[in-house]
Amino acid sequence: MYISNQHKCFGGFNKSFSEAKFVLFGVPFDSTASYRPGSRFGPAAIREASANIETWSWRNNMDFEDVKIHDVGDISIVHGDCLETIKRIKETVEEIHSYGKIPIMIGGEHTITLGAIRGLRDVAIISFDAHFDMRDEYLSNKLSHACVMRRILEELGNERLIIVGARATYKEEIEYVKENNIFYITSHEINSSSHIDIISKLRDYFKNVNKIYVSIDMDVLDPSNAPGVSNPEPEGISTSILLNILEGICDGRIVGFDVVEISPPYDNGITSVIASKIIYEMCCFITSKSTSS
């Protein structure tokens, strides 16, 4: 038979679990979305897009087809039950990590990052996000997308967390951030600096850290680049800048990463394409760095 199922897994092909360096899974969960729900459709949209863009990485001079990645599919989440869903993510990440592999999580709302952090433990996090997500509680909910970095902060401590690309906040939150000496770089600063300087600052702050997790909330990008997100905010950064910064911070210390908050019902397809590209490039960065070192 002439059977082709290229859209079923990320990138259109699947290495075996055992030979994989990266293990990707989706988390179609958006129960706490307050503005533009639909990130539950993110994993499917990203896989679809990923099978339709080209695979060559100019930054790495290699082809994504040579990356050792295995897509296990989606986690069976529980709509409306954040606690249980986070627990399942934690266990999944834990298991992938126990095999010495790098988990890649595609969301889904940002809350799910808490599960990944709990599964990896003892890591530092760089979160690319238009928002601080540092509310103690949002719309009566402590496990909301708007609180996820506050929860992570409580687990990791504020010297192991960086927010990059922040620009959307409110009075109480920005006061909290400043009082607690949370390290952040606004999009305004990025847009008026060289990406080299931004990279230096980030590497310097985490110079003593051994394990880094990278979380990419797609709303860190400008809405012109990434319209299909749950909470769009103007004055973001461009795709090229984001990729340049990611290139600068990726080294052998990366133990996992995620791409979250894409809301396909509000997308024209571009946001999913860029999410796929980011994952392609992240895999190539990490592969190149570990090969070269």
Binding to a second copy (CB under 8 A) within 255-284 occurs at 265-270, 273-274, 277
Pick from 21, 34, 205, 209: which binds a second copy (CB under 8 A)? 34
**Stretch in the footprint of a second copy (CB under 8 A) among 85-93, 120-128, 198-206, 208-216:** 85-93
By CB under 8 A, the count of residues binding a second copy is 84
Which one-letter DSSP state was computed for residue 16?
Answer: -
Contact flag: residue 38 with a second copy (CB under 8 A): yes
C-alpha closest to that of 200 among 191, 211, 190 = 190
Of 124 and 241, nearer to a second copy (C-beta) is 241
Of 227 and 248, nearer to a second copy (C-beta) is 227
Pick from 11, 12, 108, 228: which binds a second copy (CB under 8 A)? 228
Contact flag: residue 128 with a second copy (CB under 8 A): no
Pick from 31, 127, 215, 287: which binds a second copy (CB under 8 A)? 31
Contact flag: residue 139 with a second copy (CB under 8 A): yes
End-to-end CA distance of the chain: 44
Of 8 and 68, nearer to a second copy (C-beta) is 8
**Stretch in the footprint of a second copy (CB under 8 A) among 54-62, 157-165, 198-206, 250-258:** 54-62
CB 75 within 8 A of CB 88: yes
Contact flag: residue 136 with a second copy (CB under 8 A): no
Using CA atoms, how far apart are residues 22 and 67, in angstroms rounded to an integer? 8
Pick from 15, 88, 160, 195: which binds a second copy (CB under 8 A)? 88
Which token pair is 272?
């999913």
Using CA atoms, how far apart are residues 42 and 30, in angstroms rounded to an integer? 10
Using CA atoms, how far apart are residues 253 and 273, in angstroms rounded to an integer? 26
Contact flag: residue 74 with a second copy (CB under 8 A): yes
C-alpha closest to that of 227 among 187, 188, 268 = 268
**Stretch in the footprint of a second copy (CB under 8 A) among 53-61, 117-125, 203-211, 253-261:** 53-61
Burial degree of 185 (CB within 10 A; 0-12, 13-18, 19+): buried
Give SS3 for 279: helix
Cα 186 to its chain centre, rounded Å, is 18
Beta-carbon contacts of 209 under 8 Å, excluding residues fewer than 6 positions away, are: 124, 160, 253
The site string for a second copy over 98-127 (x = CB under 8 A, - otherwise) reads ------------------------------
Cα angle value 147/216/74 (rounded, 5°):
90
Q: Contacts with a second copy in 150-169 (CB under 8 A)?
A: 167-169
Of 183 and 266, nearer to a second copy (C-beta) is 266
